[in-house]
């Protein structure tokens, strides 16, 4: 892909994120009102906003890039005619969304032959957009655009660790994460994809999670790598399809975490 | 206290929060830079910003209300000549602060004869200020000022529960919290005082924590009660001095949580 083509598609990813924001931000307020009036009902974090935002993104892709495929969390896969496919999660962190907390994001990735080449993590409540590609990663906010750079943290004892929910780990994974947590300097919870965005910005040094779907991790990869970080699975290689994701500010920290997770 | 006096002191609390923001917001960026350059060193979440913000607040109180006492997290207690004392925690959530996460807050409470009559929870990163007193609670943000109202949630099975860190509980408290977590609809972590602010706004229904100091809980009480919520300790009464705090959107939910926490 040429630099011009890449820049054009990165701008288009921002257009998609703008369209999603126009749906999700008013919905975040509305969901609070609905929640506060509801007398009960089954717990369904997949809101109408999630579906409306994905529809809005899909309509833009169909209009501007009809040859591109789309694979969305809500409406599944629509194969394209060429080598590009968009991978979408309109609202990642639906639990944060229903609680009115700022950590939910919109995830948009462009895959070229199944490999993510552009990643976008949009955090509407805090007004931050994290965009990564082969030209690097940047934070686009109300104050301007800034290059993103991971921290230089190389040891677990100094690492600021994050994961979404310590109770999401099963069996051996729970034990492995507990070892990591005890070895790290500090652990924060509750941020879903936003934790990876903060890793790219240098605020978090290490993130470990399991059970991620492709829509959850595709967008993270270019953002983290474009900021100089390392992302792979818990065994230390690049295949994320098992859903176990480990992201670190440095290669040394990544490898230290792999060793600690694997220890018996 | 007259309504006029109360309104004047609530405005003054906002002036104090503005002064703290002027210190903490630039420091939040600076701390990230320092963290990212640091090669190591002991973990000390009490930053220079914490101290500078408290100094700034204390100077304003001394200038405008020299008869008021001050009890701050950083510089201790300075008794006043009258019935009013300010209770301050310039940066609550220092772990979030050092990780560049949006959940840290500035807590400011005015006590009248040891009872909190004005509470202010300021969340600078998200630009939200939660203010509560006998006139009610309101959210002061960039979009204007809005009355705060808790949700109507009355049952644990429907409740959105929050706590800062599930690993902060010791012994029997850990078991009690685990029962609560399993009974609740969804649990979110990592927000310190911001969770109580979101409870006042109706986004969270229930918060349970232990180990809180007076500076941590004084400001919460008027904000929660002013929004129609209930706050007390884990045994269901009003004494918070043991540091165990339970806040709920409704009395029914509060009592259901007390029963679940106490079960053996």
Question: What pairs with residue B105 in β-bridges?
Answer: B92
Quick check: A210 contacting B, CB < 8 Å? no
Q: What is the ipTM of this complex?
A: 0.78
Over 70: is that where the pLDDT of B44 sits?
no
Tokens representing B185 are: 């609809």
Q: CB distance B186–A98 less than 8 Å?
A: yes
pLDDT band at B40 (very low <50, low <70, confident <90, very high): very low
User: Could you tell me which residue, A90 or B37, shows the higher pLDDT?
Assistant: A90
Residue-wise burial string across B92-123, b where 16 or more C-beta atoms lie within 10 A, e elsewhere = bbbbbbbbbbbbbbbbbbbbeeeebbbbbbbb
Q: What is the pLDDT of residues B88-109, one digit of tens each?
A: 999 999 888 888 888 999 999 9
Alpha helix (H) ranges present in chain B? 3-37, 48-64, 94-98, 171-183, 194-200, 214-217, 220-226, 251-262
Quick check: B191 contacting A, CB < 8 Å? yes
Check residue B45 and give its pLDDT: 45
Q: What is the pLDDT of residues A199-230, one digit of tens each?
A: 999 999 999 999 999 999 999 999 999 999 99
Q: What is the pLDDT of residues A95-148, one digit of tens each?
A: 888 888 889 999 999 999 999 999 999 999 999 999 999 999 999 987 789 999
Q: What is the pLDDT of residues B204-217, one digit of tens each?
A: 999 999 999 999 99
Return the closest-CA partner of residue B138 out of B154, B120, B159.
B120
Question: What pairs with residue B186 in β-bridges?
Answer: B160
pLDDT band at A32 (very low <50, low <70, confident <90, very high): low
Q: Note the pTM of the prediction, 2 decimals.
A: 0.86
Check residue B28 and give its pLDDT: 82
Q: What is the pLDDT of residues B141-151, one digit of tens each?
A: 877 899 999 99
* Residue B58 CA neighbour count, 13 Å, CB half: 21
Return the closest-CA partner of residue A60 out of A23, A111, A98.
A23
Over 50: is that where the pLDDT of A39 sits?
no
Q: Tell me which of A28-42, A72-86, A232-246 is least confident.
A: A28-42
Dist. CA A4–CA A8, nearest whole Å: 6
Give me the sheet containing A128-133, strands edge to edge: A76-78, A69-72, A84-92, A105-112, A115-123, A128-133, A136-141, A144-147
Chain B residues with CB-CB distance to A45 below 8 A = 186
Q: CB distance B35–A191 less than 8 Å?
A: no
Over 50: is that where the pLDDT of B252 sits?
yes
What rounded mean pLDDT belongs to chain B? Answer: 91
Strand A115-123, strand A128-133: pairing = antiparallel
Percentage of residues in chain A having pLDDT higher than 90:
76
Smallest Cβ–Cβ distance between B95 and the set A38, A102, A186 belongs to A186
Check residue B1 and give its pLDDT: 80
């Amino acid at each position: 892909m040429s630099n011009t083509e890449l820049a054009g598609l990165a701008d288009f990813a921002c257009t998609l994120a703008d369209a999603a924001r126009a749906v999700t931000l008013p919905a975040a307020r509305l969901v609070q009102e609905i929640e506060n009036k509801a007398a009960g009902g089954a717990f369904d974090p997949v809101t109408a906003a999630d579906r409306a935002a994905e529809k809005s993104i899909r309509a833009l892709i169909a209009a501007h890039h009809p040859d591109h495929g789309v694979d969305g969390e809500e409406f599944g896969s629509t194969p394209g005619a060429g080598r590009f496919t968009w991978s979408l999660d309109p609202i990642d962190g639906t639990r944060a969304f229903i609680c009115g907390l700022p950590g939910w994001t919109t995830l948009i990735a462009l895959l070229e032959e199944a490999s993510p080449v552009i990643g976008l993590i949009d955090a509407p409540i805090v007004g931050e957009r994290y965009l990564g590609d082969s030209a690097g990663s940047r934070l686009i906010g109300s104050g301007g655009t800034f290059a993103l750079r991971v921290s230089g943290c190389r040891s677990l004892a100094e690492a600021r660790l994050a994961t979404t929910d310590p109770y999401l780990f099963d069996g051996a994974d729970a034990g492995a994460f507990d070892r990591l947590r005890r070895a790290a300097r500090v652990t924060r919870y509750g941020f879903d994809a936003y934790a990876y965005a903060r890793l790219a910005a240098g605020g978090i040094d290490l993130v470990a999670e399991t059970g991620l779907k492709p829509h959850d991790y595709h967008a993270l990869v270019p953002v983290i790598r474009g900021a100089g970080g390392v992302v792979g699975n818990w065994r230390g290689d690049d295949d994320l399809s098992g859903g176990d994701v480990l992201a670190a500010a440095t290669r040394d920290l990544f490898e230290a975490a792999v060793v600690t997770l694997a220890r018996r």
